[in-house]
């Protein structure tokens, strides 16, 4: 299944992002765009998270992957974009459910939290797991109705 994937990290997630990028490149199944960061120099995570989320929101890419030290900051920023469902995951179970039940389109990982082997398994699972639809689709529509509703006093 060929997919366009956008990936980004801050300095805290740089090493893991590089390993993920290499892993996906070696598999050769997906087109991967790396938007940085490209070294260990400090960079503010909101800028990277916003760029990945914006590209997902505008449907320029099928899926996104964000990596920072803990994953928390990136997930907060990414989920502020319309039509983005960024899931901070820590194991295979949460990755699987993020796709099957929530149709997550961005996987967020903590570079200082996860080991490399598990992280790569999580990425592979994220990119190969389908959304189940059904009752889960109804719930996503409810989320969209809430988040896209006009604000009231």
What's the confidence (pLDDT) of residue 91? Answer: 98
* pLDDT surpassing 70 at residue 135: yes
Told to judge if 40 belongs to the known catalytic residues of this protein, a careful annotator would answer no
Catalytic residue, candidates 30, 90, 101, 136: 101
In this predicted model, what pLDDT tens digit does every residue of 15-24 receive, in sequence order?
Answer: 999 999 999 9
What's the confidence (pLDDT) of residue 18? Answer: 98
CA atoms within 13 A on the CB side of 105: 23
Classify domain 4-147 at the CATH superfamily level. Answer: Sugar-phosphate isomerase, RpiB/LacA/LacB (3.40.1400.10)
| pTM for the structure as a whole | 0.93
Domain residue ranges of the chain, discontinuous segments joined by +: 4-147
In this predicted model, what pLDDT tens digit does every residue of 56-105 receive, in sequence order?
Answer: 999 999 999 999 999 999 999 999 999 999 999 999 999 999 999 999 99
What's the confidence (pLDDT) of residue 145? Answer: 75
pLDDT, averaged across the chain = 93
């Amino acid at each position: 299944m060929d997919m366009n994937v956008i990936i980004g990290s801050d300095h805290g997630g740089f090493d893991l992002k590089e390993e993920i990028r290499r892993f996906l490149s070696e598999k050769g199944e997906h087109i991967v765009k790396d938007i940085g960061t490209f070294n260990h120099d400090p960079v503010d995570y909101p800028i990277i998270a916003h760029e990945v989320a914006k590209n997902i929101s505008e449907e320029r890419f099928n899926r996104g992957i964000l990596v920072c030290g803990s994953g928390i900051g990136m997930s907060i920023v990414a989920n502020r974009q319309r039509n983005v469902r960024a899931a901070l995951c820590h194991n295979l179970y949460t990755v699987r459910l993020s796709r099957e039940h929530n149709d997550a389109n961005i996987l967020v990982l903590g570079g200082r939290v996860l080991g490399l082997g598990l992280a790569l398994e999580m990425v592979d699972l994220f990119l190969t797991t389908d959304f189940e639809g059904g009752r889960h689709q109804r719930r996503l529509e409810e989320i969209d109705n809430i988040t896209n509703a006009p604000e009231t006093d």
